[in-house]
Structure 1
Amino acid sequence: MNIMLFIFGVIVVIAILLVIVFNRFVKNKNLVKDAWSNIDVALKRRYDLIPNLIETVKGYAAHEKTTLENVINARNAAMSVPSDDISGQIKAESQLQQSLRSIFALGEAYPDLKANQNFLDLQQKLNEIEVNLERSRRYYNGTVRENNTYGESMPGVLFAGMFGYKHFDYFEADEAERKNVNVSFN
């Protein structure tokens, strides 16, 4: 009888452990998805702002067609990445961020543009979005760290395959983002 109670106790403990581990995997995955949705909202706001920015710059820097086209192409590429492809979205956003820097470098080269109230308003809105994105990226990277650490350490690693653990990529600056933008007006 004591052996039966012991076996029953061991089974209950294992079942409780499995439920706890499973729930932690679900919680971590949902936190990452929630954090990514915060980034996604800010990205959509940025996408909506970019055409207005391009139109404002066009009037002052019409001969900078290549720079403007690069921003438009980067925006379209970023918008075309499926929202559930986080890695693809991160790469596309790096390209867009790089091209946006060149737009603001144009503002430095064209004093009339730099003084334009519409340009200044759009630049301010974009800066607010970027600050929001930075916060969202930090939160996202924190949830990714928590998820990945749990899935790669004990006891999570023992059950990762069984419970469909997914490793997520961090939202980091790529090499192009770490370099200064060089804008030439030859």
Structure 2
Amino acid sequence: MFSFLIPLGLIALAVAWAVGTYNRLVALRNAWRNAFAQIDVQLQRRFELIPNLVETAKRYLAHESETLEAVIAARGAAVSGLAAAKGKAGDPDAMARLGRAEGALEGALGRLMMVSEAYPELKADRTMAQLTEELTSTENRLAFARQAYNDAVMAYNNRREMFPSSLVAGNFGFEPASMLSIPADRREMREAPQVRFGESA
């Protein structure tokens, strides 16, 4: 009798462990997906601010059309990159494309801010000051959202790769997720644009 119960007990323990591991992997996967959704929210907010920022700057930067056009073009590429990534969050190619597009946009914004420093009237414009303050705030929230996403991805990937969790992950289709990486050789991708339009000239 007892010899029959022991195998059943071991099977029950194995099933309970597998179910627990599966549920933990699901929770970790949902965590990084939710973290990516927060990135989406902040990026959408930034995308909404940029056209107003460019339109305001255009009144003063008549001779800087190339800089303004670069910002609009970079914004368009970033919007496309985000749209692709939303359907494939965590996918290596989608995350790399989004990272490159976001880096190009941040670089273009940074150049716009540097050019704007030479125009005191633009720096004194109240609308421009409000927009750049909102942009800075959005950039800060975006940086936190990126970090939260990357931390969640790391926790998920660690769990799915570690034995014995890897046995469940491999058999139930828990694919690896990719972080939103920022290349080390692109300074403008690591730092939010420094905006100081609220300061006196």
Return the TM-score normalized by structure 1: 0.90
Q: Is the 8 A contact 1:67 1:103 kept in 2?
A: yes
How many residues were matched structurally?
Answer: 181
For 1:30, the aligned partner's letter is N
1:102–1:85 Cα change, 3 Å: farther
Q: Is the 8 A contact 1:28 1:146 kept in 2?
A: yes
For 1:102, the aligned partner's letter is R
Secondary structure, in 3 states, of the residue corresponding to 1:30? helix
Paired with 1:140 and 1:77, the residues of 2 have a C-alpha distance of: 22
For 1:18, the aligned partner's letter is A
Alpha-carbon RMSD across the aligned residues, in angstroms, is 1.8
Query: Deviation of residue 21 (structure 1)?
Result: 1.0
Equivalent residue in structure 2 for 1:101, among 78, 93, 110: 110
Instruction: Name the structure 2 match of 1:184.
Output: none
Q: Is the 8 A contact 1:25 1:163 kept in 2?
A: no
Paired with 2:99 and 2:26, the residues of 1 have a C-alpha distance of: 23
Paired with 2:71 and 2:131, the residues of 1 have a C-alpha distance of: 15
Unpaired runs of 5+ in structure 2?
A: 90-94, 194-201
Matched, 1:80 2:80: yes
Equivalent residue in structure 2 for 1:172, among 173, 177, 181: 181
For 1:84, the aligned partner's letter is G
Paired with 1:56 and 1:155, the residues of 2 have a C-alpha distance of: 57
What do residues 57-112 of structure 1 show as CA deviations (whole Å, max 9, x unaligned)? 11111221221111111111111232133413233212211111111112212222
Instruction: Name the structure 1 match of 2:30.
Output: 30
Unpaired runs of 5+ in structure 1?
A: 182-186
Aligned pairs for 1:11-30 within 5 A:
11-30=11-30
Query: Deviation of residue 170 (structure 1)?
Result: 1.9
Equivalent residue in structure 1 for 2:152, among 122, 140, 143: 143
Query: Deviation of residue 133 (structure 1)?
Result: 0.7
Shifted more, 138-147 versus 26-35: the winner is 138-147
Query: Deviation of residue 176 (structure 1)?
Result: 5.3
Instruction: Name the structure 1 match of 2:92.
Output: none
Paired with 2:157 and 2:11, the residues of 1 have a C-alpha distance of: 28
Paired with 1:162 and 1:56, the residues of 2 have a C-alpha distance of: 55
Which contiguous aligned blocks of 4+ residues in structure 1 show a shift greater than 3 angstroms? none
